[in-house]
Amino acid sequence: MSLYSLTRTLGRSEAPPVAKVARTTPGLAVHLAGISKTFGGRAVLDRLDLAIRPSQFVAVIGRSGCGKSTLLRLLTGLDTPTGGHLNLDGQPLAGLAPTVRMLFQDARLLPWQRVVDNVGIARGPDWRERALKALDDVGLSDRANDWPAVLSGGQRQRVALARALVSRPKLLLLDEPFGALDALTRIEMQNLLADLWHRERFTVVLITHDVVEAAMLADRVLVLRDGQIRMDAPVNAPRPRESDDPEVLRLEKALLKAV
Amino acid sequence: MTVSWKNGRAFDTLAPWIVPVVLVLVWEAAAESGLLSARLLPAPSAIAVAGWEALVSGVLLHHVWISFQRAMIGLAIGGGIGFALGVVTGAFPVAEKLIDSPVQMLRNVPHLAMIPLVILWFGIDEQAKIFLVAVGVMFPIYLNTFHGIRTVDSGLIEMARLYGLSPWHLFVRVVMPGALPSILVGLRYALGIMWLTLIVAETISASAGIGYMTMNAREFLQTDVVLLGIIIYALLGKGADVLTRVLERCCLSWHPAYQTDRKASL
């Protein structure tokens, strides 16, 4: 696996600079039409249609192996679909896009770079100031010069969040980002994410196992099963949400049934 | 007594020296009393005197310098080739298919078995010794570089690509630092092999160097100088080891195993 990805990377020439698009909205519109992805003859995603409007917070839930992670990898441009069309803001997605950032379940910080260098991994002009600012946003400005190894799991994930947000993405992809955290830290991180999203208004696609997380955070929840969308429910509860909001509770029940 | 034992730090620094010091004292006593023949095993004090004389006359430094030069040139050539091959095979599967299995075959030939061939090729000149050292150090560096690059966390590589790192930056900021612990292990092995090879090569044929010094001393039955040579080799080996440790501590300060503040709290 490492061999494969490494050679693919080293074999690639540097991606051409993407033309600067006028910043009309802080979030990207995502449009998937008839998207399929097959691995060795097995369809993981089967002619999937999905339209996400700019700045929408979409949660995707489903059992293991339902194609959630595959969907996310297609949106990053790391993988290409076997069939169908994938557009971001009306433009077909070709390769990795600098406006798309992803948060993994494990923080994936470089252990040999200090926290601030990890946040500014993409470098670019004024990267250090921007990285410090992003660290401040996630409440870790005092840990800028620490090694990742001395941070707790929750702090590492905060650093990873800062790293994702430092380049002001228009689409943030989250692959079960809080699944490995303890319950209290998870709630903290969820609140942090909700605050940052409220402020920056990027589009979010959050993959999760947790129906409560989905119902509390998202504008819209999708249930994925057998490579297709089986349920597409709006969340109408007012924000900030309480966990005992009747709308939230009703949705959680419906989601559990549909998964 | 209880006070000094309670002071654990003083004991910790002194402890490794207790056994060697006692051994040297016993040895000295045995030699002085005539229990050991000076021809077989001269007293430590006699060796110290021989060492001092060689140092003052400049002979010792001359020989050490020659050996050191051979070692470093051999290490630079062999290590450089091993490192380059390891990087290429680690990064490109095509190169692995082409290069790895021949290198693995060569690796299994004890390089000292090539001495007769090396003498035929290079005579008994400097090149012969440097060649042997280079061949010896090449394989551990090659293997550990290759292994280090292959075992870099694929998740980190994926992340770095996603965050737009160019192939060069990916290599410099992700792949190389990730492979470095393994490469330094290779370097440590290589340094051991380097001295071993040099000792053998210099004892066979040389006109200068520590090996020459000891072989020359043997002809004149100067056992103290022979022992001095052996001790110099031991010191050089230890020095190389200390150097790699320092290197590890500098380069791997991010690694939990090398974080001094954490160690201090234990």
- Per-residue pLDDT at A14 exceeds 90: no
- Asked if A34 and A49 touch (Cβ cutoff 8 Å), the reply is yes
**Distance, CA of B45 to CA of B28 (rounded, Å):** 7
- Asked if A142 and A46 touch (Cβ cutoff 8 Å), the reply is no
The count of CB pairs under 8 A between chains A and B is 93
Q: Which of A39-53, A202-216, B33-47 has the lowest mean pLDDT?
A: B33-47
Question: Alpha helix locations (H) across A201-245?
Answer: 211-217
- The band of A20, judged by pLDDT with boundaries at 50, 70 and 90, is very low
In this structure, the number of other CB atoms found within 10 A of the CB of residue B260 comes to 9
- Per-residue pLDDT at B187 exceeds 90: yes
Please list, residue by residue across B23-50, b when 16 or more beta carbons sit within 10 angstroms of its beta carbon and e when fewer do: eeeebeeebeeeebeeeebbbbebbeeb
- The band of B124, judged by pLDDT with boundaries at 50, 70 and 90, is confident
Smallest CA–CA distance, residue B137 to chain A, in Å, is 26
CB-based contact B161 A5, cutoff 8 Å? yes
B151 to chain A: which residues are within 8 Å by CB? 2
Residue B260 is predicted with a pLDDT of 56
Nearest to B157 among A5, A96, A122 (CB): A5
CB-based contact B163 A150, cutoff 8 Å? no
CB-based contact A102 B256, cutoff 8 Å? no
B86 to chain A: which residues are within 8 Å by CB? none
- The pLDDT tens digits of the residues spanning A188-239 come to 999 999 999 999 999 999 999 899 999 999 999 999 988 889 999 999 888 8
- Tell which of A4, A6, A156, A161 to mutate to test the B interface (max B CBs under 10 Å): A6
**Distance, CA of A243 to CA of A235 (rounded, Å):** 13
- Tell which of B147, B150, B161 to mutate to test the A interface (max A CBs under 10 Å): B161
The percent of residues in chain A predicted with pLDDT above 70, rounded, is 91
A58 three-state secondary structure:
strand
Residue A111 is predicted with a pLDDT of 95
**Distance, CA of A241 to CA of A256 (rounded, Å):** 19
- The pLDDT tens digits of the residues spanning B156-172 come to 999 999 998 999 999 99
- Per-residue pLDDT at B1 exceeds 50: no
CB-based contact A108 B178, cutoff 8 Å? no
**Distance, CA of B257 to CA of A147 (rounded, Å):** 12
Q: Which of A162, A184, A161 is nearest to A174 (CA)?
A: A161
- Per-residue pLDDT at B35 exceeds 90: no
pTM, rounded to two decimals: 0.81
- The band of B90, judged by pLDDT with boundaries at 50, 70 and 90, is very high
Mean pLDDT of chain A: 87
Instruction: Report phi then psi at A81, rounded to 5.
Output: -70, 155
- Asked if A189 and A179 touch (Cβ cutoff 8 Å), the reply is no
Nearest to B162 among A2, A6, A76 (CB): A76
Q: Which of A17, B169, B22, A146 is nearest to B30 (CA)?
A: B22
Q: CA-CA-CA-CA torsion for A88, A219, A186, A60, nearest 10 degrees?
A: -60
Q: What are A's interface residues with B at a Cβ cutoff of 8 A? A: 1-3, 5-7, 9-15, 76, 78, 96, 98, 101-102, 104, 106, 108, 110-113, 121-123, 147-150, 163
List the single residue in B with minimal CA-CA distance to A9. B167
User: What is the average pLDDT across B49-78?
Assistant: 93
Which stretch, A94-103, A195-204, B104-113, has highest mean pLDDT?
A: A195-204
- The pLDDT tens digits of the residues spanning B220-253 come to 888 999 999 999 988 998 898 899 889 988 889 8
Residue A226 is predicted with a pLDDT of 87
- The band of A124, judged by pLDDT with boundaries at 50, 70 and 90, is confident
- Per-residue pLDDT at A3 exceeds 80: no
Instruction: Report phi then psi at B59, rounded to 5.
Output: -65, -45
Instruction: Give A116's contacts (C-beta < 8 A, 6+ positions apart).
Output: A128, A131, A132, A135, A144, A145
**Distance, CA of A109 to CA of A157 (rounded, Å):** 9
Q: Please tell me what DSSP assigns to residue A134.
A: H
Kindly report the three-state secondary structure assignment for every residue of chain B. CHHHHHCHHHHHHHHHHHHHHHHHHHHHHHHHCCCCCCCCCCCHHHHHHHHHHHHHHCHHHHHHHHHHHHHHHHHHHHHHHHHHHHHHHHHCHHHHHHHHHHHHHHHCCCHHHHHHHHHHHHCCCHHHHHHHHHHHHHHHHHHHHHHHHHCCCHHHHHHHHHCCCCHHHHHHHHHHHHHHHHHHHHHHHHHHHHHHHHHHHHHHCCCCCHHHHHHHHHHCCCHHHHHHHHHHHHHHHHHHHHHHHHHHHHHCCCCHHHCHHHHHHC
Mean pLDDT of chain B: 88
CB-based contact A2 B262, cutoff 8 Å? no
User: What is the average pLDDT across A82-92?
Assistant: 91
Length of chain A: 259
ipTM for the whole complex:
0.83
List the single residue in A with minimal CA-CA distance to B157. A6
